Structure 1
Amino acid sequence: MTRILIVEDDGDIRGMLARGLAAEGFEVDVAERVDEALVSARETAPCAVVLDNMLPDGSGHDVCRALRGGGYAGAILFLSAKDEVSDRAEGLSLGADDYIVKPFSFDELVARLRAQLLRRQGSEPPRDVVTAGRLTLDLTTRQARFGTASARLTQREAELLMALMQEANRPLSRGDIYDRLWATQGGLSLNVVDVYIGYLRTKLGDIARTGGPLIVTVRGRGFMLDLRDAGFQ
């Protein structure tokens, strides 16, 4: 899994970024000070650092300078309220790959982050597509498609849909789904399965408005992707 380090002293922004990037499939570490950021980067070797410029014990410039001086080759993206051209120029001159000004669009941040990660891979990774009947799931872009309609899923939604597609027309119990997707994450109850089933039902309903692939509840047995309608096999 791709590891991202968020360096941000604002707790609300830090929490939002951590939750959002985790939902996008990244493994996330957080720091709020220069010293914490450098220790975390040294110990976890993140693929990218999302870096605020104004920190309690220094600046993002200090972090960027130390990382590049120590040979860090991952992506560095500044996320800062300082929007002067001179601020952006200094950050980029220190070795940052991108500079995003607050307030910002989370979707744009994710797009820019992925672009930098792909650049370091040298080429776009091959796509992996799962198919069940006329429903397809592109695991690279996380696009679920039915006919000409499509919906973009979060990483966890895509993993859940893939599990259901692999067992299409057969029910999976809550426990089976939980074990596949959440067993290694402490502190979560079986209710998380119902929450994500709800998210996925909504998105599948949007791309199959005339009775398309549906996730049905099989009493006493769990959930099933029901593709038995003649139009969807």
Structure 2
Amino acid sequence: MTRVLIVEDDSDIRAMLARGLEAEGFSVGMAGCVGDALTAARDDAPEAVVLDITLPDGSGHDVCRSLREGGYPGPILFLSARDEVRDRAEGLALGADDYIVKPFVFDELVARLRTHLLRRKESDEPRTIVTAGKLTLDLNTRQMNFGDASARLTPREAELLAMLMDQANKPVSRGDIFDKLWASQGGLSLNVVDVYVGYLRSKMADFVRFGGPILVTVRGRGFMLDLRGQDYRH
């Protein structure tokens, strides 16, 4: 039985989510603050976390950051009343898989949760290392390496890089990237692709200095991982 940790300070919402998820066949753990959430994540080994942002002793962002820095591999779904684009972008940048705004439709939450659990299960299949030229990406640790340089990625950054590595030296359109990685989440625009490409470029800066691959913008066609050292922006 798949165990889900609910982190929510409102006891009524917490109880409603627990009843609903248990009725859908999930095993449920609950926490109402940052401290209890981190303890439950450590002791109960949940396979997914549904996480509010506003908590009495800190923020859901603190929980998400701590879990990802500690290597937690499961889906993290923010469930928050904060509906600004910057709030969603910050949550996803910290390593969350999804961001759902309150008030929400419970059936949609369950559907998204199951989608992300299935995606994680599929990612646990035999392929663990992606290579493109001398660039490697470990999908388990989300560490990319080029020579002696390395960098750790968030789950979504790793998915984006793996997609670009699989199509190395070929442009991949914003639409294709968005459809594969973000279309199921709702409320986001194509601009999220540019944001994450920017994150990747920043983390690959050391690689470029050592003659590594370049993540370029191909005008009118999208983005490309260039292994040949050519600039296709012009």
Which residue of structure 2 lines up, in the alignment, with residue 219 of structure 1?
A: 219
**Aligned partner of 1:143: which letter?**
Q
Within 5 Å, give how 1:80-229 maps onto structure 2: 97=44, 106-110=64-68, 111=70, 113=72, 128-229=128-229
Which residue of structure 2 lines up, in the alignment, with residue 51 of structure 1?
A: 31
Q: Percent identity?
A: 53
Unaligned runs of 5+ in 1: 11-30, 55-76, 81-87, 116-123
Cα 1:227/1:5, change in 2 over 3 Å? same
Does residue 79 in structure 1 map to residue 53 in structure 2?
no
Aligned partner of residue 224 in structure 1, secondary structure = strand
Q: Is the 8 A contact 1:136 1:145 kept in 2?
A: yes
Aligned partner of residue 171 in structure 1, secondary structure = coil
Q: Is the 8 A contact 1:5 1:41 kept in 2?
A: no
Which residue of structure 1 lines up, in the alignment, with residue 118 of structure 2?
A: none
**TM-score, normalization by structure 1:** 0.57
**Alignment RMSD (CA, Å):** 3.7
**Aligned partner of 2:152: which letter?**
R
Cα 1:218/1:112, change in 2 over 3 Å? closer
Q: Is the 8 A contact 2:129 2:136 kept in 1?
A: yes
Which residue of structure 1 lines up, in the alignment, with residue 6 of structure 2?
A: 6
- Cα distance between partner residues in 2 of 1:48 and 1:125: 26
**Aligned partner of 2:36: which letter?**
F
Give, in angstroms, the shift of residue 138 of structure 1: 0.8
C-alpha distance after superposition, 1:185-222 (max 9, x if no partner): 22211111111111111111134433421111111111
Cα 1:34/1:181, change in 2 over 3 Å? closer
Count of matched residue positions in the alignment of Structure 1 and Structure 2: 164
Cα 1:186/1:134, change in 2 over 3 Å? same
Give, in angstroms, the shift of residue 114 of structure 1: 5.0
Unaligned runs of 5+ in 2: 46-56, 75-123
Cα 1:183/1:209, change in 2 over 3 Å? same
Aligned partner of residue 79 in structure 1, secondary structure = helix
Which residue of structure 1 lines up, in the alignment, with residue 21 of structure 2?
A: 41
Larger radius of gyration: 1
- Cα distance between partner residues in 1 of 2:73 and 2:32: 18
**Aligned partner of 1:51: which letter?**
A
- Cα distance between partner residues in 1 of 2:136 and 2:25: 35
**TM-score, normalization by structure 2:** 0.57
Q: Is the 8 A contact 2:214 2:229 kept in 1?
A: no
Aligned partner of residue 151 in structure 1, secondary structure = strand
Cα 1:216/1:47, change in 2 over 3 Å? farther
